[in-house]
Each structure stands twice: as structure tokens, then as C-alpha cells.
Structure 1
Amino acid sequence: MTLPTGVQRRTVDGRERLVTRGEPVYGEPTDGEWRVWDAGRSKLGAMLALGMETGMVGGGSVLYLGAASGTTVSHVADVCGPTYAVEFAPRPTRDLLDVAAARPNLFPLLKDARRPETYAHVVESGVDLLVQDVATRGQADVALRNRRFLRDDGRLLLAVKARSEDVTAAPEDVFGRVQEALAEGYELLATRRLDRYHEDHLAVVARPR
């Protein structure tokens, strides 16, 4: 797998780790100006660590859904161009604002990812990457509603949380239903379980149909 420009593998604390260059955010280990991208705290980091071809491009534009306090989206903004970070909860959004202070290309939005019409006037159309890490029911529906922002050859990088979708169902059944629903608007390119880093999560790489 070819890592996106701006993401490297470096030996930090005696281990080979993924790193990006930027201001530390969550107490992650650093090596000079390089900061470890902790796959155990980031589903997208886990996807890269496991060798998935994400289509992530250095300098590309990104819409990130479920930014929380900025753990993963800070690394994305280190690597990519304009990065729109949608978060629903006010408390983590305040932390996200602090993260954005050192990253002029990171734009926090206190919005609901289930209602893309509320931020359509801010987010540019034709983004290169749609990253989704939202703990809610209807994760496929969120991805379908936000498909409008992706360019025709863009990529959806989705971390499906089985327990958020249906806590009573077997994860395999949940993943199957989500993939079937996604097929209404996306062509699935790759899937992989993230259990090595995140239990009961499935990574999905897709592009718009």
C-alpha cells in the first residue's frame, strides 16, 4: 500500500508507527515535529495501518463527519487541504476549535451529519474524501445523504460501528445490512474488519455510483 503524501512510517519509541507532521493534540508520542497517528484511537488510522487503499490524497479536500474532539481529523488536516469537520455535540466541538487554531485549513462545524442541508452553504461541492465515524443508527443513510458533497471519483471512508447500529444483532448481520443499504448510492471497493484495533467495527471504502 502507498501511504498518502504527508503520512510516513517512522520508528518511534522502538516501534514502527504511522506519523504526520503537526502540532500534538491528544498526548500522542512525537519524534521532533512528527506525531504518531495512533491506530488504537483512530479508525482511519487503523485502516491505513492495516494496509487498506483509502484513496486519501495529500492536499485533497475532505468532509469529516463525527469529528469529536479532533483526534483523527487533526491528522487528516495535517495531510490534506480544506478539511470540514462536522460534530454534533457542543463539548467536543470546543476542543475541536482549539485543534483548529493551529490548523488554518481545518473548519469545525457544530452541525448534525444527518442534516447536510444545514452546512451545504459552507462545505464546497466536489470534495475528494468523505470520512464518516458517527456513532448512530442509520450510518448508511448518513453516508447517502452526504454523498452530494463528493466528486464523482471521490472516496467514502466509513467506519461502521455495529453496536451503535443495533446492539442486539450479530455484527456480521449489521455489516451486511449497512453494505446493502450503501449500494443504493455507492460502489463498494473494499471492506475490512478493524477488530485488531477497534472491536465490532467494519471499514468500508466506496465511491459514488
Structure 2
Amino acid sequence: MSELPAGVERRPVAGEDRLTTEGEPVYGEPTVDGRRVWDAGRSKLGAMLELGMDTRLSGGESVLYLGAASGTTVSHVADFAGPTYAVEFAPRPVRDLVDVVESRPNLFPLLADARKPKEYAGVVESGLDCIVQDVATRGQAEVANRNAAFLADDGLLLAAIKARSEDVVAEPDEVFEDVRGTLREEYELLETARLDRYHDDHLGIVARKR
């Protein structure tokens, strides 16, 4: 099992060790010892950690989160990371994110389209440590490539690729192979793994900016 980032710890819950972070609850998740249980069934990044993928995160990183939705995963990220920019396209989830921000001053919600990074280029700092991506749109690899400019040299990409968002009829393995090829234009792939134990037809990717 890979080492967890500082600020992410396992706690026993109902006889099972579960990931936890320290922060105010967001989505009805249980708490233990004053910490929030990180539900891998509702979080692709949580699933990557539960499955033992080496995210290379140590804690305290500056993060650009693409596809923040209403804050389920990005709230956990903000619990252990540094400045965390949360990009979400839909207005309703962004309104929910505003509530999450009240107890997380390092979390910055942005109503913007992750496919169009110029929309937030004037707000998000450059030289970031990490991009976390979970966007349900066609062209997920292109989204990651377009946002690579925000990363520092050797910055990390932690992406969850949803096969059905790319092609509803193609075999997921074929979709994932195409995605890997596109990502190699901007990134060195360090590790990939299917997330099917928690999320059907998803591929977790750990990559480093070239």
C-alpha cells in the first residue's frame, strides 16, 4: 500500500480501516475521532488512494481541481492540500461549493469550463504542484493537456477517465488506450489502474508533466 499524503489517515470504522481527512463534513459522510470518512465510492481520487495507487502527494500541494461538482472530493483535497482552485461548469454545484469554502479558506471555487482554461487563467496561479481531474465530458485527455500550462515543471496530473463519456459503445480498454496516447503529448504516465472496484469503466491515471 502506497504512503498516504500528510493529513490523510486511516481510521477503523465498523471493523474496516477507512480513509479520513480533518475538516467540516460536506456530503453527509460519517466522522470518527473528529475526522471525516472519505467515501471512495463517491470519489475517484479516494478510490485511487484506496486501491494503493501512488499519487506522489505528500500534503500541502497547490492544486487545480477540474470538475469539482458540489465539493465531495475537492473538500477532502482542500483538507490536506494548500491553495486549491476548484473549477466547475454548472452554476448550481458552484453555489454548493460556496458553503464548503466557509470552513476552508484555502479553497477557491471558479464557475468556468475546464475545456477553456483561458477563462480562469487570470485567476489561477501558474507553477502549481498538481491537477486533479474528474470531468464527465468527451475529450478528457485534451482537457488535461490544455491545463498542463498551469503546472510547474514535473507537476502531477491525477485523473479519473470515464470511458462512457468518451464513447458509449466502444470497449473501455480501447478508449483508455486512446486517452493514454493523447496524454503522452504533455505528460509522462507513471501509473494507471482500473477503478472498477468503486467506479465502473473508469481508469485512474498518475502522470507527470514533461
Does TM, scored on the shorter chain, surpass 0.5? yes
Matches within 5 A, 1:168-179: 168-179=169-180
Matches within 5 A, 1:125-164: 125-164=126-165
2:94 aligned partner: 93
1:32 CA drift (Å): 3.2
1:171 CA drift (Å): 0.3
SS in 2 for 1:130: strand
2:121 aligned partner: 120
1:56 CA drift (Å): 1.6
Pair 1:7 & 2:32 matched: no
Distance 1:57 1:63 in 2: 16
Distance 1:80 1:35 in 2: 15
Distance 1:62 1:119 in 2: 14
- 1:166-190: CA deviation from partner (whole Å, max 9, x where unpaired): 1010000000000011111111000
SS in 1 for 2:26: coil
1:110 aligned partner: 111
1:23–1:33 contact (8 Å) kept in structure 2: no
Q: TM-score of the superposition, structure 2-length normalised?
A: 0.98
1:188 aligned partner: 189
1:199 CA drift (Å): 0.2
Letter in 2 for 1:85: A
1:46 aligned partner: 47
SS in 2 for 1:207: strand
- 1:106-130: CA deviation from partner (whole Å, max 9, x where unpaired): 0000000001011011111111110
Distance 1:149 1:135 in 2: 21
Distance 2:155 2:12 in 1: 32
Q: TM-score of the superposition, structure 1-length normalised?
A: 0.99
1:57 CA drift (Å): 2.6
Runs of 4+ aligned structure 1 residues displaced above 2 Å come to none
1:12–1:30 contact (8 Å) kept in structure 2: no
Distance 1:13 1:152 in 2: 42
Letter in 2 for 1:80: A
SS in 2 for 1:75: helix
- 1:38-68: CA deviation from partner (whole Å, max 9, x where unpaired): 0000000000001111012311100000000
1:154 CA drift (Å): 1.2
Distance 1:158 1:58 in 2: 17
Letter in 2 for 1:117: K
1:66–1:133 contact (8 Å) kept in structure 2: yes
Distance 1:175 1:105 in 2: 33
RMSD (Å), alpha carbons: 0.7
Letter in 1 for 2:72: T
1:12 CA drift (Å): 1.8
SS in 2 for 1:81: coil
Distance 1:13 1:72 in 2: 22
Distance 1:99 1:112 in 2: 20
> Structure 1: which 5+ residue stretches go unaligned?
none
1:186–1:206 contact (8 Å) kept in structure 2: yes
Letter in 2 for 1:38: D
> Structure 2: which 5+ residue stretches go unaligned?
none
Distance 2:14 2:25 in 1: 16
